[in-house]
């Protein structure tokens, strides 16, 4: 790669500089809004309503966080989201892995039919069947329960195919020899494949974690009891719906921005550590479409 740029003339250097500046400008459009949000969230309520804060808080205070957490009880939707995300992700990964494992057996009778069965579900967007899905959830008495949100997208063709492609990298001979030693399928699956495909698992866990944490359509449809609101729905009511004066507290800008920060902390906390898995997952996912 490096020899590609060996003879750098001035034109090439100018090109490099312009290119770097272009990317820098782009990055600024991503970074500045966040710094602005952080600065506002740490300003006092009155100061945050003035058009002066850009990159640094004014009248530094953490009252926004205190109000949003305690007085506006955002911890309740936060916990609801956490429960749905953790349980939902765990089940999603388990079920998708099981199916992914099944599909690595090329000579399994009925494999083609099952694969087609799974692939068809990928063609029908969840959104296009949201009305009948609502009816199904209603008939199963799931409306206004967190179970409806755990069940929404409990398994997906995308994850199944992704797990399968990770499992295919596990040497088949290992499973073979374990089988000769008398290990059952479940044991081979749990003790060998799930461990050896840990990187793949991390990818699917992350996709699902982010997806469930950010899930919006399903809670908007299935939940209207405010005690069962998830974080995204509560946030929408708090930061977006106008004249949202929740109870006695006027929702000032610093409170809204504190809500945003609280909701993205779990995502930003995990992202840097798993970025490389993430990239790998996106690529595999796209090429297996």
Partner 1 sequence: MKVLKRYGALYVMMVPVIAYFLVFAYYPLVKGLQTSFQDYRLMGDRPYVGFANYSAVMHDSMFWDAMVNTLVIGGGILLFTFAAPLIIALSLNEVLRTWYKKLAQMVLYVPHLLSWVVVGGIWIFMLSPDSGLVNMILVHVFHRAPFNFLADSTWARWIMIWLATWKEMGYTCILFLAGIVSINPSLYEAARIDGATRWQQLIRVTLPQLGNTMKVVFLLNTLGILRIFDEVFVLRNPTIATKVDVLMMYTFQKGILDIKLGPASAASFFVLLLTLALTLVVRRVTRFDEV
As measured in angstroms, the least distance from the Cβ of 199 to partner 1 is 17
Looking at the Cβ atoms of 66 and 128, the one nearer to partner 1 is 128
As measured in angstroms, the least distance from the Cβ of 131 to partner 1 is 4
As measured in angstroms, the least distance from the Cβ of 94 to partner 1 is 9
As measured in angstroms, the least distance from the Cβ of 227 to partner 1 is 19
Looking at the Cβ atoms of 228 and 256, the one nearer to partner 1 is 256
Looking at the Cβ atoms of 122 and 227, the one nearer to partner 1 is 122
Closest by Cα among 94, 41, 87 to 63: 41
Looking at the Cβ atoms of 11 and 112, the one nearer to partner 1 is 11
Q: What is d(CA 104, CA 172) in angstroms, rounded to the nearest whole number?
A: 10
Closest by Cα among 95, 123, 108, 286 to 201: 95
CB within 8 Å of 242: residues ≥ 6 apart = none
Closest by Cα among 163, 143, 161 to 152: 143
Q: Are 230 and 215 in contact (CB under 8 A)?
A: yes
Can you give the length of the chain in residues? 289
Looking at the Cβ atoms of 171 and 184, the one nearer to partner 1 is 184
What is the CA 24 to chain-centroid distance, rounded?
Answer: 26
As measured in angstroms, the least distance from the Cβ of 233 to partner 1 is 8
Structure tokens at 243: 């004249």
Burial class (CB in 10 A: 0-12, 13-18, 19+), 285: middle
Looking at the Cβ atoms of 86 and 237, the one nearer to partner 1 is 237
As measured in angstroms, the least distance from the Cβ of 248 to partner 1 is 22
Q: What is d(CA 17, CA 25) in angstroms, rounded to the nearest whole number?
A: 12
């Amino acid at each position: 790669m490096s020899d590609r740029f060996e003879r750098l003339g001035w034109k090439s250097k100018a090109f490099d500089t312009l290119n770097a500046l272009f990317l820098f400008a782009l990055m600024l459009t991503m970074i500045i809004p966040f710094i602005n949000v952080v600065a506002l969230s740490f300003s006092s309520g009155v100061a945050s309503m003035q058009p002066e804060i850009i990159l640094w808080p004014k009248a530094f205070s953490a009252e926004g966080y205190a109000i949003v957490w305690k007085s506006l009880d955002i911890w309740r939707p936060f916990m609801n989201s956490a429960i749905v995300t953790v349980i939902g992700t765990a089940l999603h990964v388990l079920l998708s892995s099981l199916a992914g494992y099944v599909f690595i057996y090329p000579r399994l009778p009925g494999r083609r039919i099952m694969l087609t069965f799974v692939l068809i579900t990928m063609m029908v967007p969840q959104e296009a069947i949201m009305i009948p899905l609502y009816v199904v959830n209603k008939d199963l008495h799931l409306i206004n329960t967190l179970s409806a949100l755990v069940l929404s997208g409990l398994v997906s063709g995308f994850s199944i195919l992704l797990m399968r492609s990770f499992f295919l990298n596990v040497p088949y001979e290992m499973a073979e020899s374990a089988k000769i030693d008398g290990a059952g399928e479940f044991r081979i699956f749990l003790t060998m494949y799930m461990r050896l495909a840990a990187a793949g698992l991390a990818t699917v866990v992350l996709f699902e974690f982010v997806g469930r944490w950010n899930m919006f359509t399903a809670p908007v449809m299935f939940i209207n009891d405010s005690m069962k609101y998830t974080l995204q729905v509560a946030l929408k009511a708090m930061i977006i719906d106008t004249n949202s004066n929740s109870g006695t507290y006027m929702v000032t800008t610093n409170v809204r921005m504190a809500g945003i920060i609280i909701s993205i902390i779990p995502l930003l906390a995990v992202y840097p550590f798993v970025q490389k898995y993430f990239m790998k997952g996106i690529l595999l996912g796209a090429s297996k479409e």
